Amino acid sequence: MLADCNNFYVSCERVFNPLLEGRPVAVLSNNDGCIVARSNEVKALGVPMGAPFFEYKKVLTDNNAIVFSSNYELYGDMSGRVMEILSMFTNNIEYYSIDEAFLELTDLHVNDYTEFGRDIRDYIKNCTGIPVSIGIAHTKTLAKAANELAKKNPEFNGVLSLINVAPREVDGLLDKVDVSDIWGIGRQYSKMLRAHNISTAFEFKNALPAFVRQYMTVSGLRTQMELAGTACISLDLEFKTKKGILSSRSFGHAVMELTDLEEAVSSYTALACHKLRAENAVARKISVFIRTSGFRKNDRQYKAFVSQELLDYSDNTGEFIKAAISLLRKAYKRGFKYAKAGVFVTDILSTSAHVPLSLFGTLDKSKKNILGRLVDKINDHYKTDTVFYAACGVAKDWKGKSGQKSKKFTTSWRELLTVG
């Protein structure tokens, strides 16, 4: 079973402002650059996903659309609430993304899967206010297809089960799924398949396996088998330590001074280390990049990417900030208008694994580890940057735009929704 929150970021905003229901609503990316979430009303205006905001600002304004800056703290908290409810129904759950999860239902005794899906959908809506679509099938790819149909066709009321459905009826439904909407088939494969007169999931399912393998390798063949009802992709139930943690943002305006860049890079490094500790992991390598804007054709262009290995594996923010600033000073060139900077932490190991120590490394880092986790606890309880490293700066004039951001309705005592 796949549970997928509908227009998730928009739905989160609507939970705390019911007057937004029925109105065009869009959510912007970091620095208010691109449109990353659209209500159905905005989609009907022809505004594509990922479109630059400035290109569609007039269309949105002319249609009285409400536009929000991203509020990731709110979205993350609401996602946690939805996922917690889903985990009540089964322990076998794969948290696929911030707004999607696969559930294994084989160990449950379910008589009517459609009714079961509706019960879950209603419970999530009643408890969180978030609408979800649910697709149920014998394979993950079919569940994705069922979810897509449930979301786009009102007659299914948000839930479609393909369990115990006649093969001919399943084929008829798959014929309504565009080839570009098949899970695992990207833009290039979609284009290639259309060139061979394959435009729906049904047509892809019935294509010659030899053709699929030749043009799409084993992964394409696996997708085809999944559409035919043969499970080839199991649930990923194990938590895996990330291979890398990227922390970057575009600036609200061009940045030229090294001191401003140092504040930004230090802030991004602190955020990356916070994520590292949240995963109970340590890392040894950090990379820093800076670049100008490719959109400013009249400006001189420059970009740099530099890396360094620490002596030991660590999760200590101070150590990583020191390394990041050193790298930045090597990469920085005066006279350029920088548009973006970021850090990339790699060579990551779980703290449960055997972490090798450097010959010259400090053997006892318990005090530093305690300090980092204590800072995390304070910031998580009160608000981000209640306690921070001085290198991260105070004014942070370089920060990206977020002038239309909603309140932290669920994570800040100061911004709780007031009633009456």
Out of 2-16, 154-168, 283-297, least confident range: 283-297
Q: Provide CATH code, domain 244-355+384-392.
A: 3.30.1490.100
Sequence spans of domains, the chain: 2-73, 75-228, 244-355+384-392
Task: Report pLDDT for 373.
Answer: 76
Query: In angstroms, rounded to a whole number, what is the distance separating the alpha carbons of residues 34 and 299?
Result: 22
Instruction: Please say if the pLDDT value at position 77 is more than 80.
Output: yes
Comparing CA positions, the residue from 121, 54, 17 lying closest to residue 407 is 17
List 344's β-bridge partners, or say none: 246, 287
Query: In angstroms, rounded to a whole number, what is the distance separating the alpha carbons of residues 297 and 347?
Result: 36
Percent of the chain with pLDDT over 70: 90
**Residue 363 — very low, low, confident or very high, per pLDDT cuts 50/70/90?**
very low
Class of domain 75-228: alpha beta
Number of H-type helices and E-type strands within the chain: 13, 12
Strand order, beta sheet including 35-38: 35-38, 25-28, 66-68
Between residues 10 and 393, which one has the greater pLDDT?
A: 10
Determine whether domain 2-73 maps to CATH 3.40.1170.60: yes
* DSSP-derived secondary structure letter, 157: T
Q: Which amino acid is at 13?
A: E
pTM of this prediction?
A: 0.73
213 C-beta neighbours (distance < 10 Å), count? 15
**Residue 232 — very low, low, confident or very high, per pLDDT cuts 50/70/90?**
very high
